[in-house]
Structure 1
Amino acid sequence: MRKQDIVFLACAVFLFILAFSFPSIGSKGSLLHPEKATSFLAALIFFINGIEIKKEKWFEFFYLRDCLLIQAATFLISVLIGLLLHELFFKNFYLSPLILAGIVLLSSLPTTVASASIFTKIAEGDSTFTLINSIIGNTLGLFIVPLITGYFIPNWHRESFDTGLLALNLFLIALLPFSLGLALRKLNPGDAIKLFLKYFQRFLLLAIVYLSLSESFFQIDNDFLSAKISYPILLLETFILYLLFLALSFILSRFMAFSRKRKIASIFILTQKTAVLGIPLAESFFLSSSEQSFLLFPLLFYTLIQWTGSSALLFLLGQKEKLN
């Protein structure tokens, strides 16, 4: 494993401990305004990706077979995995049936808007493939995820969900900065600038990691529903779900005979779930904060697991490359 990757993982571990120790930074309206800062950092990552992307790689967008299979795995197979796992093994551990809706919401979410492509790039995978699928998945997810999750919530008021606002946010966070980056790609930045952008992206990802973990720890610590939710059981269920999504990525990659770079991309696409889309969705389903919390808890626990798991995967993939 390269020295810079070890430094990155060490920083990630430090930020995990810091977020756990001082989670109040994740509260809305705090000094760093995490709900706004995360979107801004993600937009910067997409802007840099637009500058760095190679023209010939962008044309791979038109080879839709692999992308369609990834989206089917995200919105169909992953949901079936989440449903079966919960109904067969964990259903009787919770007093609230809304936990099932929370598991469905988590399972049906597309990949993270920016971090999955950065993790893929650090692991020397096909970051363009990850980038394209994150844009496609988050666009489709605006319409598919509410339909899937709403099926398991009888008293959901559909009119409370603002698809237009989320679509605007996706445009401002992903499509617009990426397009601006593509337009500026013609400037052909020098090697020194490219090296700076490479490490700057890692810094941005670490900042997103810290803000996301702080927000998760803050919401979990400040909720009053622990009597109705067994935290260890939910942590175990979301951890198993992460492992199943990881197994799905391996099976899919083997079935499609993906190259090593695309296998790495598939791993992070199918195991990373976006809280940027999931949290606004959960908040739109109910007016009651307690009901929102039941819906959000699986996603919050999974967020902690996916950041830890992605960091571990960077180490394992680096070791495997060294052995090869």
Structure 2
Amino acid sequence: MNRLLARFNIDPYLLLLVSTVAFASVLPARGVFADIAGGVADAGIALLFFLHGAKLSREAIVDGARAWKLHVSVASLTFVLFPLIGLAVSAIPGLDPALATGVLFLTLLPSTVQSSIAFTAIAGGNVAAAVCSASFSNLAGIFVTPLLTAVLITGKQGGFSSDPVITISMQLLLPFLAGHFLRPWIGEFVARHKKVLGYTDRGSILLVVYTAFGAAVIDGLWSRVTIGELALIAGISIAILALVLLAANMLGRAMRFSREDLIVLVFCGSKKSLATGVPLAGVLFTQAQVGAIILPLMFFHQIQLMVCAILARRYAAQTTREAIA
């Protein structure tokens, strides 16, 4: 099974996400169980951001900050170009309003960390710069994504479900800062148990997906969303990714980046983080809204992995040919 998934560039974790959605569609959390599941999911999100803080090296921040032109270029794609595209796409007539909001929300998210770094390494890019750029993007996303969401989404819909400043500070920012400041004492432990703690990250996201989709199903999600709309979301995701990849290449050449830095711009500037997006959606929107809003993100997540895996191999092959020549 793992070989089959790898052959088609399918993330095994996607199967868990789809299974969670299916389970939530059949047996959504209700009543007291919904409250318990929601509380556990909130605790898991706090733990997730605590671990992210503990993983972030201050040395990587200092070393990578020197490539500020590259980081500004990545940020311009992530938090400027993507949202502009999202605004245009979310205005498509006939699209379910919740899915349209989900498309716009995914364009407001920060870049991924693990996959951006992994693909940069495979392609022969500047790994140190990728580590720094992806980390900066996720740290900025804690502040920038809620701000953009307030301006472009919830400000037009009448506000957040709760005070966003207090909620984000208590559930996301404080755990992140606590983990980062405790890094001198727990950093080695986190590094040694990276694989086990990774299950905690993914498990937290699955819990949020289960509670969110359960609430959305109870609210009538599948009676509103059609298969045609899901296919449209997949097509939109492909189109958005293609536009950003083209823009990344054009910007990199205009900035005269080296090949190694251009690879960083392509992979860090074109991705959106599922690991950050699902928790943020749970904080910024009501539980009944979250299920539909993260659907486009789940589609985009898998598509970006498949496309970038192909690109990384092509970059690597090109590097090999140049070395032989």
Q: Aligned AA for 1:134? A: N
Compute the TM-score of the two structures, normalised by the length of structure 2: 0.70
Equivalent residues, number? 293
Select 1:136's aligned residue among 133, 140, 152. 140
In 2, Cα distance between equivalents of 1:305 and 1:232: 13
Question: Corresponding residue for 1:78?
Answer: 82
1:131 deviates by 1.1
2:311 corresponds to 1:312: no
Aligned match of 1:224: 220
**1:33 aligned partner:** 40
CA distance in 2, matches of 1:282, 1:46: 24
**Secondary structure, counterpart of 1:152 in structure 2:** helix
Matched with 2:242 is 247
Superposition deviation, residue 301 in structure 1: 0.9
Residue 15 of structure 1 is matched in structure 2 by: 16
Equivalent of 1:263 in 263, 266, 278: 266
Note the C-alpha offset of 1:135. 0.5
User: Is residue 110 from structure 1 mapped to residue 112 from structure 2 by the alignment?
Assistant: no
- Counterpart of 2:72? 68
Task: Please provide the CA RMSD for this pair.
Answer: 4.0
Partner of 1:168: 170
Cα pair distance change 1:252/1:43, threshold 3 Å:
farther
Q: What residue in structure 1 maps to residue 279 of structure 2?
A: 276
1:40 shift after superposition: 1.0
* 8 A contact 1:38–1:211 mirrored in 2: no
Q: How much has 1:160 moved relative to structure 2? A: 5.2
Aligned to 1:177: 179
Residues 13/222 of structure 1: CA separation in 2 closer, same or farther (3 Å cut):
same
Report the CA distance shift for 1:210/1:102 in structure 2 as closer, same or farther (over 3 A).
Answer: closer
How much does 1:57 deviate? 5.1
Q: Deviations over 1:256-314 (max 9, x none)?
A: 2433244322233478861322332223xxxxx8xx63xx4552212321443355357
Amino acid in the other structure paired with 1:15: L
Counting aligned pairs with the same residue, the percent is 11
Q: What is the identity, as a one-letter code, of the residue corresponding to 1:246? A: L
Report deviation, 1:28.
4.7
Choose which of 282, 287, 293 in structure 2 pairs with 1:299.
Answer: 293
- d(CA) in 1 for partners of 2:52, 2:265: 20
Closer/same/farther in 2, CA of residues 38 and 203 from structure 1, 3 Å limit: same
Q: Secondary structure at the match of 2:219?
A: coil
Structure 2 Cα separation of the partners of residues 14 and 30 of structure 1 = 21
TM-score, structure 1 normalization? 0.70
Instruction: Verify the 8 A CA contact 1:42 1:173 in the aligned structure 2.
Output: yes
Structure 1 residue 134 displacement after superposition: 0.9
Between 66-75 and 125-134, the greater mean CA deviation after superposition? 66-75
Contact 1:61 1:132 in 2 (8 A): no
| Alpha carbons of structure 1 residues 247 and 93: separation in structure 2 relative to 1, 3 Å | closer
Following the alignment from structure 1 to structure 2, what is the Cα–Cα distance between the partners of residues 209 and 310?
Answer: 19
Q: 1:161 to 1:45 in 2, by over 3 A?
A: closer
The one-character-per-residue Cα deviations of 1:219-269 (angstroms, maximum 9, x if unpaired) are 443322544x33324423432343244224423431224332443222334
For structure 2, the 5+ residue unaligned runs are 122-126, 319-325
